[in-house]
Amino acid sequence: MIYRMQCVILAGGLGTRLRPATDAIPKALIPVRGRPFADYQLAWLARQKVAEVVYCIGYRGAQIAAHVGDGRRFGLAVRYVDEGDDLKGTAGALRLAFDAGLLAEAFFVLYGDSYLPIPFAPVFDAFAASGRPALMTVMRNEHRWDRGNVIFTPPVVALYDKRADADTLRRMTHIDYGLSVVSRDLIAARVGSGEVADLADVFGDLSRAGELAGFEVAQRFYEVGSPAGIADFARYLAQGALPPP
């Protein structure tokens, strides 16, 4: 199926794990091999036929807007929702975008420090076929890259819980990969206007109700939320990953 795909990038966070580098710049603009990270992320989205990006910005967000602009040099149409200093959390930021009239009927959600080298269109197709209000991509992790947080029983995420007890944690062989598809109606129904809310809590409730679809991927993810993650992503790029335009 062919869609005009939209991606909301959550890029309002403080980047505390990268201090002092993020004292002066937001995490999305951390340089990797001489280019701001956002360049790599946006170039990949364009290659995946994403047409529209909504940046949810907050901490030093004006720098992101100044660097990315309207997105045309990446082949994208980019718009912004600015939380300012009053950060609303990941779900609260999506509600701000809803209230601004910027959300498509269904859209990808991606974190501003994540590089996910997978095809996006099959993920959207799986969401459309699921009949559920949200879909989470998951990877079989076995606690290799980080602590597991997902029990995956295809075609649904049977449980998503980042605060699981030890017994439940042992059964969590999968991890949230970092790319989701969310329906606009879900945000309208589950997140109040002006509310501080975490998308993880929304997804956790959906999983317990059997309403969170899952899509398993095998490729590992990259992130620039920590010095180790930046070094790892730089090594990945050095192996021949396509550079941004």
Please give the full DSSP string across the chain, using - where no structure is assigned.
----EEEEEEE----GGGTTGGGTS-GGG-EETTEEHHHHHHHHHHHTTEEEEEEEE-TTHHHHHHHHTTSGGGT-EEEEEE-TTS--HHHHHHHHHHHTT---SEEEEEETTEE--S-SHHHHHHHHHHTSSEEEEEEE-TTSSS---EEEETTEEEEE-TT--HHHHHT--EEEEEEEEEEHHHHHHHS-TT----HHHHHHHHHHTT-EEEEEE-SPPEE-SSHHHHHHHHHHHHTTPPPP-
pLDDT string in tens for the chain (245-residue length): 445 799 999 998 776 777 777 778 899 999 999 999 999 999 999 999 999 999 999 888 899 999 999 999 999 999 999 988 888 999 999 999 999 999 999 999 999 999 999 999 999 999 999 999 999 999 987 667 667 789 899 999 999 887 776 777 677 888 889 999 999 999 999 999 999 999 999 999 999 999 999 999 998 889 998 899 999 999 999 987 665 54
Whether the pTM exceeds 0.75: the reply is: yes
Fold of 5-238: Spore Coat Polysaccharide Biosynthesis Protein SpsA; Chain A (3.90.550)
Q: Whole-number mean pLDDT of the chain? A: 90
